[in-house]
Amino acid sequence: MAVLEIKGVTKRFQTTTAVDAFSLNVADGELVCLLGPSGSGKSTLLRMVGGFETPSDGLIAIDGEDVTRVPPERRPTGMVFQSHALWTHMNVFNNLAFGLKLRHLQSAEIRRKVEAVLDLVGLGGYGARQTGQLSGGQQQRVALARSLVLEPKILLLDEPFASLDQHLRERLREEVRDIQQRLRITTLFVTHGQDEALALADRIVVMRDGRTEQADRPDVVYRQPETPFVAGFIGSMNLLDGVVANGVFTHSGLTVPLAVSDGVATLAVRPEALDIVDVAGSGMATIHRVTDYGTHAVVDIELPDGVRLKAMVPDARNWNAGQPVALKPRAFAAYRDNAAIFRSLDANG
């Protein structure tokens, strides 16, 4: 059982407020992803949980115990960094055994624990290898194993796969998810990759300027983004500023029925929820480009004022650059003053 509480934590660096009165509870066994653009305070927050930075204000507690000012080596946390920082003069076994030796464990127990964790990360039998002989993905597995072997209550991962190629990143994140679920270890995972967050998280905390923009299950964050920022950050989203009058939203000739009061509004439509219709030469929008991804195609459409939108279509072959089309949002949301004011039944289409 390990519960993490972050209460009103602020971190100021000279003139920058990196984390701003941030609060979050992570439940026992939960994997929470901190997701946000570069500079939104994710790493600083994680480093404060790990004890590598001290909060300017607020409290961090693990299982009810205040650890705000406890140094990293005395916290029940294990941190895996983007750069694995393995000890290159030691083999894999010794990289893992090091922390256990500091705890004065018997050598037979050290061997048992190291071998069990190497098996867990898929590196059984690699103990005698020098870390320099391992691939990037294997090195990152060793870094993870080195944290896990100390049996932390809370696992902290700071963009651990950022330096790996896409294919390996996807594989490793699945492995991490499996291991995390098997161990039921409470985990905080920092990423700026929305795919990674959607694939891994029990809960996503979208951060902006050191604060929480939205915190919810991945499907809720994706389908019911509470602000235009979240809508634009998670998945692909068309955001269109316009004006509502008499129940109709208008932007540069595009009109959509929208049952909200008159005023400005931002319309948000996923590419998969934007239908395009061939109108035999009379469309008000024009296809700019068609990109065929095999499984589907993405059509870039230009409105008369030059604003571009994306629509996802099953088959590229029906659509060509220069073709005039009409646009029919099948499902959409609308925002005003940074809050959702309308959401059609399933804004995801």
Among the residue ranges 40-48, 113-121, 195-203, 212-220, the one whose residues contact ligand ADP (CB under 6 A): 40-48
From residue 240 to residue 279, the character string flagging contacts with ligand ADP as x (rule: CB under 6 A) and all else as - is: ----------------------------------------
Q: How far, in Å, CA of 100 to CA of 54, rounded?
A: 26
List 4, 26, 41, 283, residue binding ligand ADP (CB under 6 A): 41
Distance CA 323, CA 299 (A): 11
In angstroms, what is the minimal distance from the CB of 214 to ligand ADP? 16
Euclidean distance between CA atoms 133 and 25, whole angstroms: 40
- Both tokens assigned to 43: 């790493």
H-helix segments, the chain = 42-50, 92-102, 107-120, 136-148, 166-183, 194-200, 218-223, 228-233
| CB 229, min distance to ligand ADP, A | 14
Q: Going edge to edge, which strands form the sheet with 248-251? A: 254-257, 248-251, 238-245, 263-269, 333-336, 339-343
Question: Minimal distance in Å, beta carbon 327 to ligand ADP?
Answer: 35
Please report whether residue 51 would count as binding ligand ADP according to CB under 6 A. Answer: no
**Least gap, CB of 20 to ligand ADP (angstroms):** 10
Number of residues that bind ligand ADP (CB under 6 A): 11
Nearest CA among 239, 258, 227, 236 for reference residue 336: 227
Whether the CB-CB separation of 196 and 208 falls below 8 Å is answered with no
| Contact between residue 307 and residue 251 where contact means Cβ atoms under 8 Å apart | yes
Q: Read off the tokens for 206.
A: 């979208």
- Does position 44 interact with ligand ADP (CB under 6 A)? The reply is yes
DSSP label of 257: E
Q: Which of 4, 9, 18, 237 binds ligand ADP (CB under 6 A)?
A: 18
The least distance separating ligand ADP from the CB of residue 288, rounded to whole angstroms, comes to 33
Stretch that binds ligand ADP, among 33-41, 94-102, 179-187, 300-308 (CB under 6 A): 33-41
At 249 the three-state DSSP class reads: strand
Contact call for residue 43 and ligand ADP (CB under 6 A): yes
Residue closer to ligand ADP by CB (options 36, 50) is 36
What is the number of alpha carbons within 13 Å of residue 342 lying toward its C-beta? 23
Q: Does 95 bind ligand ADP (CB under 6 A)?
A: no
Q: How far is the CB of 55 from ligand ADP (least distance, A)?
A: 13
Residue from 4, 6, 9, 42 in contact with ligand ADP (CB under 6 A): 42
Q: Which residue, 53, 42, 323, 258, is CA-closest to 159?
A: 42
Q: Is 39 one of the binding residues for ligand ADP (CB under 6 A)?
A: yes
- Which of 22, 31, 32, 40 binds ligand ADP (CB under 6 A)? It is 40
Rule CB under 6 A: is residue 16 a binding residue for ligand ADP? Answer: yes
Check residue 295 and report its DSSP letter.
S
Segment near ligand ADP (CB under 6 A); pick from 11-19, 106-114, 283-291, 292-300: 11-19
Shortest distance in whole angstroms from residue 46 CB to ligand ADP: 8
Query: Coil, strand or helix: which one is 318?
Result: helix
Can you give the binding site for ligand ADP, defined by CB under 6 A?
13, 16, 18, 36, 38-44
